[in-house]
């Protein structure tokens, strides 16, 4: 059974047209993450939520925003996508930051974003 | 930023061969994880190593955490086409996220 679900799996948008990617989890984990992964590169953390507390990485562009309306759902909003934003966007969850010593991040299958 | 360098970056081998992937850093990590990612999918956790010098085996895969907890290796014995994928190491630095390595893309040719 899928534990971290991302929709859609493939998203095509136009240059400058806002887009929202969705992530949901059935694990009841406290922490949800959004990563950007470009071709043949490692995932790059954009931001994460610890419960309702939002934590932005210092180098994440302002163009990227996130919302977490409840424990199960988290959204990634790209306000004005550029060609350089085309990538795989991965959502992940983990139980609790304080247990990170042996904690595990569970990844969704990703949403591949194409910007035309 | 805690950097994890993986080597080699790309590896193409014949089925049945052995291989080792390395993950190195100048930073100490409280734990280190290895993931495998197949095309079009998210990374899947293979193993977590916590103790310096720890060795874990997962069927044909052997993972080792360096004594100083700055490096790790993944050894695959008798590689199979199903082992093909992007292998990522990721270190937990005691903060609030994982630091991913640069990745090793493995292709096993039947």
The pLDDT, as a whole number, for residue A95 is 83
Answer yes or no: do A110 and B40 touch at CB < 8 A. Answer: yes
**A107 burial via Cβ count (<10 Å: 0-12, 13-18, 19+):** buried
pLDDT one-digit tens code per residue, B46-98: 998 989 999 999 999 999 999 999 999 999 999 999 999 999 999 886 555 67
- A106, A1 Cβ separation under 8 angstroms: no
Nearest to A55 among B44, B96, B105 (CB): B96
Phi and psi angles of residue B92, each rounded to the nearest 5 degrees, phi first: -100, 115
Nearest to A42 among B41, B97, B101 (CB): B101
The per-residue pLDDT of chain A, averaged, comes to 90
Question: Quick one: which of B10, B82, B51, B97 has its CA closest to A46?
Answer: B97
- B79, A88 Cβ separation under 8 angstroms: no
Residues B59, A4: Cα–Cα separation, whole Å: 26
- Partners of B48 on chain A (C-beta within 8 Å) are 102, 104
- Partners of B88 on chain A (C-beta within 8 Å) are 42-43
Cis peptide before B8 (omega within 30 of 0): yes
Please list the ranges in chain A whose pLDDT falls under 50: none
Indicate the SS3 state at residue B49. Answer: strand
């Amino acid at each position: 059974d899928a534990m971290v679900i991302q929709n859609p799996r493939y998203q095509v948008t136009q240059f400058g047209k806002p887009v929202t990617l969705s992530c949901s989890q059935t694990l009841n984990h406290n922490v949800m993450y959004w990563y950007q992964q470009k071709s043949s590169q490692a995932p790059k953390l954009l931001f994460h939520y610890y419960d309702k507390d939002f934590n932005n990485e210092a180098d994440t562009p302002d163009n990227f925003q996130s919302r977490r309306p409840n424990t199960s759902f988290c959204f990634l909003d790209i306000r004005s996508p550029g060609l350089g934003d085309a990538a795989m966007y991965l959502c992940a969850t983990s139980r609790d930051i304080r247990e990170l010593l042996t904690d595990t991040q569970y990844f969704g299958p990703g949403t591949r974003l194409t910007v035309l | 930023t805690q950097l994890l360098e993986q080597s080699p970056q790309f590896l193409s081998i014949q089925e049945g061969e052995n291989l080792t992937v390395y993950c190195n850093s100048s930073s100490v990590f409280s734990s280190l994880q290895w993931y495998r990612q197949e095309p079009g999918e998210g990374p899947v956790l293979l193993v977590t190593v916590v103790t310096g010098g720890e060795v874990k085996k997962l069927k044909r895969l052997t993972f080792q955490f360096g004594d100083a907890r700055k490096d790790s290796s993944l050894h695959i014995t008798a590689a199979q086409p199903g082992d093909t994928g992007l292998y990522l190491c990721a270190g937990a630095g005691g903060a609030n996220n994982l630091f991913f390595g640069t990745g090793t893309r493995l292709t096993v040719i039947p």
